[in-house]
């Protein structure tokens, strides 16, 4: 990537902060817009950014060759509505949002002539948040998904891929927004719904001393950034409700086999589970 | 513990094999009864046992001061029905079974005068099986639960605790069989049912390349020893069905909040999940 380009990070959250850190370390000029003075200060002191502002930041927008939006979807849309007009022609930018349908189109329609939004999702979130924790994020084991629309140019897609390569992602791939949201409903949001349901189901505090690896593994992600996950769940509501229903049918199948004392059926279900999980290990 | 005592392991599975290995390393005489000649051979070659038999083993039963049963519950009961009469007065023995209600009473009623069964559950299972994998089991991070009945003597309970200490378990505790089965239904079996349901819900093989840590964590235990888990599920059917229902209600609560677009309700649910999980981290 061209090192003389200026990267603007909007929102120094966990991922925005990590982009800033990685890009600065690789010699790019990185600026930031962030509401919290504390976070700006942290990013400046740690050399993640060279300049940052919480207000009067139109100059930072105008100077940016590329922008990375690390905002929640609704905040992202509001931001572009208000400040999008200051983005200069030639600017190509991306985001880190975990949902795409309804978001990417909306943003693309709001943009001035000559400005391009190529959406992407770095699957590297953790149970922590904020730029203060960005150094705990590991891109080298994470997937990076680019979700282009018909409006995107090959040049913008190539830039986004190059950005992911520069940041060291393990696996870079492309999906439509719809496929992305279906996939993410299953491999991420459904898992978080399940982990939360496990904690909500029973006042389990007295059982904590007895838990083994399996319970710990299943509920590690039950510490949820409530505002972010409420947003992601509602944004991907249709997919996620569908996934919950499908999951529930599978769980009811297991329950039914137990009620019927159908040992063979249970064994067949477990064999299917084992077979699929084994295949999945090979694909890793 | 008295080192001149002879320990008989019945069933050189993952845990039976680990007991044999650990006791032999600590200088005890360990013998074994195991159907598979291969497993006996493995245990002999690796010094886990000093003698072992797959047939004509009444002498091994008669010589044993202590026995550890590493059999599935139904096989365990059948074994004691057939061979229990050869256990000598003074012998105190235990098991490794993951379910207790209906099993402990039944075994205790089958025993000859002067023989005592004190039930226990080493919570150290893994996704592998067999004595060949016993060296991968780690007792130092695992819980050990003793589940005495009214028939048990303080001496037998003390012996069982000492055994767990000798084997190096992290945390040794006592529960009634009913409490144990309620607890294990929640922290282990429900988790395995969920992991299996996640794999069964959708032909997910095409999604494998996109999965992040959360999906991998939630489905690590989806590789199930189908015969063992079918047995455990059916044995603890009442508790587990109840747990599945409670879990399902919690999941439906999340789904309902999404259907209602009730962002505040979702956030409150996630806050509860986060609070409980955090408390739970402290207890570790």
- Residues B135, B21: contact at Cβ < 8 Å? yes
CB contacts of B121 in chain A (<8 Å) are none
Q: How far apart are CA A6 and CA B34, in angstroms?
A: 70
Reading the block at residue A22, the tokens are 């990685």
pLDDT at A210 over 90: no
Q: Which residue has the higher pLDDT, A3 or A243?
A: A243
Degrees, nearest 5: CA angle A198-A199-A202: 90
**Predicted confidence (pLDDT) per residue in B250-260, tens digit:** 999 999 999 99
Q: How far apart are CA A19 and CA A66, in angstroms?
A: 12
H-helix or E-strand containing B165?
A: helix B154-167
Residue B99: Cβ within 10 Å count = 26
| Percent with pLDDT over 70 in chain A | 99
pLDDT for position B282: 65
CB contacts of B268 in chain A (<8 Å) are 226
Reading the block at residue B52, the tokens are 């072992």
Angle in degrees, 0-180, between the axes of helices A237-259 and B226-235, rounded to the nearest 10? 80
Phi-psi region of B262 (alpha: psi -120 to 50; beta: other; left: phi over 0): beta
H-helix or E-strand containing B120?
A: strand B120-123
- Residues B259, A238: contact at Cβ < 8 Å? no
pLDDT at A73 over 80: yes
Q: Hey, are the CB atoms on A247 and B198 less than 8 Å from each other?
A: yes
Longest dimension (CA), chain B: 70
- Residues B137, B15: contact at Cβ < 8 Å? yes
Q: Hey, are the CB atoms on A142 and B270 less than 8 Å from each other?
A: no
pLDDT at A284 over 70: no
Chain A: give the shortest CA distance to residue B233, in Å: 7
Q: Give the residue ranges of chain B where pLDDT is below 50.
A: 284
SS3 B159: helix
pLDDT for position B239: 94
User: Is B277 in CB contact (< 8 Å) with chain A?
Assistant: yes
Q: How far apart are CA B64 and CA B80, in angstroms?
A: 14
Chain A: give the shortest CA distance to residue B274, in Å: 4
Choose among A192, A203, A231: nearest Cβ to B214. Answer: A192
Reading the block at residue A122, the tokens are 């770095």
* Gyration radius (Cα) of chain B, Å: 21
- Residues A127, A221: contact at Cβ < 8 Å? yes
Choose among A214, A255, A271: nearest Cβ to B241. Answer: A255
pLDDT at A283 over 70: no
CB contacts of A205 in chain B (<8 Å) are 276, 279-280, 283
Q: How far apart are CA B8 and CA A195, in angstroms?
A: 41
Residue A155: Cβ within 10 Å count = 11
Instruction: Annotate B232-251 with DSSP letters as a single string.
Output: HHHHTHHHHHHHHHHHHHHH
CB contacts of B267 in chain A (<8 Å) are 226-227, 230
- Residues A76, A83: contact at Cβ < 8 Å? no
Rounded average pLDDT over A190-219: 86
- Residues A39, A62: contact at Cβ < 8 Å? no
Residue B22: Cβ within 10 Å count = 19
pLDDT at A209 over 80: no
Rounded average pLDDT over A119-139: 92
Rounded average pLDDT over A4-14: 96
pLDDT for position A213: 78
Burial of B106 (0-12, 13-18, 19+ CB in 10 A): middle
pLDDT at A129 over 90: no
pLDDT band at A255 (very low <50, low <70, confident <90, very high): very high
- The interface residues of chain A toward chain B in range 52-91, judged by CB-CB distance below 8 A, are none
Q: What ipTM does this complex have?
A: 0.88
Three state DSSP letters for chain A: CCCCCEEEEECCCHHHHHHHHHHHHCCCEEEEECCCHHHHHHHHHCCCCCEEECCCCHHHHHHCCEEEECCCHHHHHHHHHHHHHHCCCCCEEEECCCCCCCCHHHHHHHCCCCCEECCEEEECCCCCCCHHHHHHCCHHHCEEEECCCCCCCHHHHHHHHHHHHHHCCCEEEECCHHHHHHHHHHHHHHHHHHHHHHHHHCCCHHHHHHCCHHHHHHHHHHCCCHHHHHHHHHHCHHHHHHHHHHHHHHHHHHHHHHHCCCHHHHHHHHHHHHHHHHHHHHHC
Q: Which of B241, B240, B269 is nearest to B254 (CA)?
A: B269
Q: What is the mean pLDDT of chain A?
A: 94
pLDDT at A200 over 80: yes
Q: Which of A133, A129, A84 is nearest to A109 (CA)?
A: A84
- Residues B225, B129: contact at Cβ < 8 Å? yes
Strands of A120-123's sheet in order across: A120-123, A143-146, A171-174
pLDDT band at A79 (very low <50, low <70, confident <90, very high): very high
Q: How far apart are CA B2 and CA B62, in angstroms?
A: 18
**Predicted confidence (pLDDT) per residue in A28-67, tens digit:** 999 999 999 999 999 999 999 999 999 999 999 999 999 9
Burial of A42 (0-12, 13-18, 19+ CB in 10 A): buried
Q: How far apart are the first and last CA of chain A?
A: 29
């Amino acid at each position: 990537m061209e090192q003389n380009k200026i990267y603007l990070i909007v929102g120094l959250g966990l991922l925005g902060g990590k982009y800033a850190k990685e890009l600065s370390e690789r010699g790019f000029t990185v600026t930031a817009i962030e509401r919290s003075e504390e976070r700006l200060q942290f990013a400046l002191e740690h050399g993640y950014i060279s300049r940052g502002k919480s207000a009067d930041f139109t100059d930072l927008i105008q100077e940016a060759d590329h922008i990375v939006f690390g905002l929640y979807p609704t905040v992202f849309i509001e931001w572009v509505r208000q400040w999008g007009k200051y983005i200069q022609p030639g600017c190509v930018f991306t985001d880190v949002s975990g949902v795409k349908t309804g978001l990417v189109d909306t943003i693309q329609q709001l943009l001035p002539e000559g400005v391009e939004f190529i959406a992407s999702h770095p699957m590297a979130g953790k149970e922590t948040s904020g730029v203060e924790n960005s150094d705990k994020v590991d891109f080298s084991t994470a997937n990076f998904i680019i979700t282009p629309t018909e409006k995107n140019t090959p040049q913008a897609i190539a830039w986004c891929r190059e950005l992911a390569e520069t940041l060291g992602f393990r696996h870079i791939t492309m999906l439509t927004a719809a496929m992305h949201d279906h996939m993410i409903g299953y491999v991420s949001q459904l898992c978080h719904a399940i982990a939360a349901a496990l904690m909500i189901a029973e006042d389990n505090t007295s059982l904590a001393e007895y838990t083994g690896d399996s319970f710990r593994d299943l509920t590690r992600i039950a510490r949820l950034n409530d505002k972010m996950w409420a947003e992601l769940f509602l944004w991907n509501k249709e997919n996620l409700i569908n996934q919950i229903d499908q999951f529930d049918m599978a769980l009811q199948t297991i329950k039914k086999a137990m009620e019927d004392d159908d040992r063979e059926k249970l064994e067949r279900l477990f064999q299917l589970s084992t077979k699929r999980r084994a295949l999945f290990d090979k694909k890793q």
